[in-house]
Amino acid sequence: MLRVPRTELQYGTRERVSFAGAFQFIPCDDLVINLNILGAMLDSDTNRHNIDIEIRSQNQLIPYDTVIGSNNTLQSIRLDHVNRRSENKDFTQDTEQLHIFLSSTWWLNDTLNLAV
């Protein structure tokens, strides 16, 4: 899909917090227990303002000064009767994640172990 260059102003606030922790418990030489924790939080309020041209479904467009590249792709074009469009978006993101992973390895003998 053709992307038309546009002007854009974007501003807002963003707060991110993340943490990671790893804990290991070795009650004896034959047993190791691991606990891994990963967490993140995002709180974002953003305002986006665009000004561009609308070319989809526009029957009154008049193209001229068209340049087609060697691989049959549009390199540049000038258009008359183009509609200007402005778009304003305010959006908020609030995300929280928490991942907990517990694993262990138990050595039953020198050649055999059980890992979970």
Domain residue ranges of the chain, discontinuous segments joined by +: 7-115
pLDDT in tens, 70-84: 888 888 888 888 877
pTM here is 0.56
Where in 29-81 does DSSP place strands (E)? 31-54, 62-68, 74-80
47 phi, psi to nearest 5 deg: -120, 130
Q: How confident is the model at residue 5 (pLDDT cuts 50, 70, 90)?
A: low
Predicted local confidence at residue 14, as pLDDT? 94
Mean pLDDT within 55-71: 83
65: exposed, middle or buried (C-beta count within 10 Å: 0-12, 13-18, 19+)?
exposed
